[in-house]
């Protein structure tokens, strides 16, 4: 009886031992597979680590290039800003110089205009003036003349105006020589002045007549020249020889009949 029990116990132990052995073999196989897997994973990890190191190295190199480019861009921007600032300053300097030149030119123009007007020998330097201006010609003191820009353009010097009969034009030689009347109304400038005006610069003569119906007529002559008193203030124009007194008397007679406004003007040639 005891023998059978021992035999059974032995059999059970043998069975358990075999099962344990089988379990150990399976465990050993599994451990071996795990070890192999671990080795493979170590190799993979090492490979990935190397790849990561290479990637890191490349990233560091790229970052260095980025930093270098960024530095170059910043330096370029600084240089660009410096150049732009320098150009802006240069442009501002040039603008200031141009403004100063314009101011100087304006001052020179004003000065020239002032000098031209101060030394004017006719109404031409006074442009579109319709006022009384002072002119200077050789041989006589400066004198005032009416300027006109309404009838035939700018720069005309009015030498005779007759608007009505308030001023008599029936005058003697001396009065026609020296002039008479009101420069803002009816007047005659004077033959002596006309002689000196036309002596040194060529002039055009423009005559405009207006009747009581406001109809106008005009005549215009080039190269208008008046002789001196010794020549009886003879009119020399385009070869036509006419006594100025004859013209004045003729106009006077016409005005007494049909004409009520007369403008006689001179224009100096440039």
Q: What is the CATH number of the domain that holds 235?
A: 3.90.215.10
- Indicate if 142 and 249 belong to the same structural domain: yes
- Indicate if 155 and 240 belong to the same structural domain: yes
Q: Check if the beta carbon of residue 135 is closer than 8 Å to that of residue 123.
A: yes
What range does the domain containing 208 cover?
127-268
- Indicate if 69 and 136 belong to the same structural domain: no
Per the structure, how many domains does the chain have? Answer: 2
From residue 266, how far is each of 8, 25, 39, 52 by CA, in Å? Answer: 162, 140, 122, 103
- Indicate if 218 and 260 belong to the same structural domain: yes
Q: Which of 6-10, 161-165, 228-232, 259-263 has the highest mean pLDDT?
A: 228-232
With a cut of 70, say whether residue 114 has pLDDT above it: no
- Indicate if 16 and 90 belong to the same structural domain: yes
- Indicate if 55 and 158 belong to the same structural domain: no
The confidence score (pLDDT) of residue 6 equals: 75
Rounded to the nearest integer, the mean pLDDT of the chain is: 76
Tens of pLDDT, residue by residue over 57-71, are 888 888 888 788 888
Name the domain boundary from 76, 100, 118. 118
Name the domain boundary from 61, 94, 118. 118
Q: Which of 1-15, 83-97, 152-166, 205-219 has the highest mean pLDDT?
A: 152-166
């Amino acid at each position: 009886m005891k023998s059978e029990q021992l035999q059974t116990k032995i059999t059970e132990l043998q069975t358990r031992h075999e099962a344990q052995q089988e379990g150990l073999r399976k465990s050993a196989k599994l451990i071996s597979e795990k070890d192999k897997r671990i080795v493979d994973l170590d190799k993979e990890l090492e490979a990935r680590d190397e790849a990561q190191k290479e990637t890191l190295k490349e990233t560091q190199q790229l970052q260095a290039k980025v930093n270098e480019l960024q530095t170059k861009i910043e330096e370029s921007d600084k240089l660009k800003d410096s150049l732009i600032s320098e150009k802006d300053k240069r442009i501002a300097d040039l603008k200031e110089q141009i403004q100063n030149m314009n101011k100087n030119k304006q001052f020179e123009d004003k000065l020239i205009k002032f000098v031209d007007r101060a030394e004017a020998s006719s109404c031409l330097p006074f442009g579109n003036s319709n006022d009384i201006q002072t002119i200077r010609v050789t041989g006589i003191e400066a004198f005032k003349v009416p300027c006109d820009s309404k009838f035939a353009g700018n720069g005309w010097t009015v030498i005779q105006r007759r608007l009505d009969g308030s001023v008599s034009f029936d005058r003697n030689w001396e009065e026609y020589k020296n002039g008479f009347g009101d420069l803002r109304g009816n007047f005659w400038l004077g033959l002596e002045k006309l002689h000196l005006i036309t002596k040194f610069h060529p002039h055009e003569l423009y005559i405009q007549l207006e009747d009581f119906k406001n109809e106008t007529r005009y005549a215009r002559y080039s190269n208008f020249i008046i002789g001196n008193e010794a020549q009886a203030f003879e009119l020399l124009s385009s070869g036509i020889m006419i006594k100025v007194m004859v013209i004045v008397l003729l106009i006077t007679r016409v005005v007494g009949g049909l004409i009520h406004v007369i403008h006689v003007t001179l224009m100096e040639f440039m």
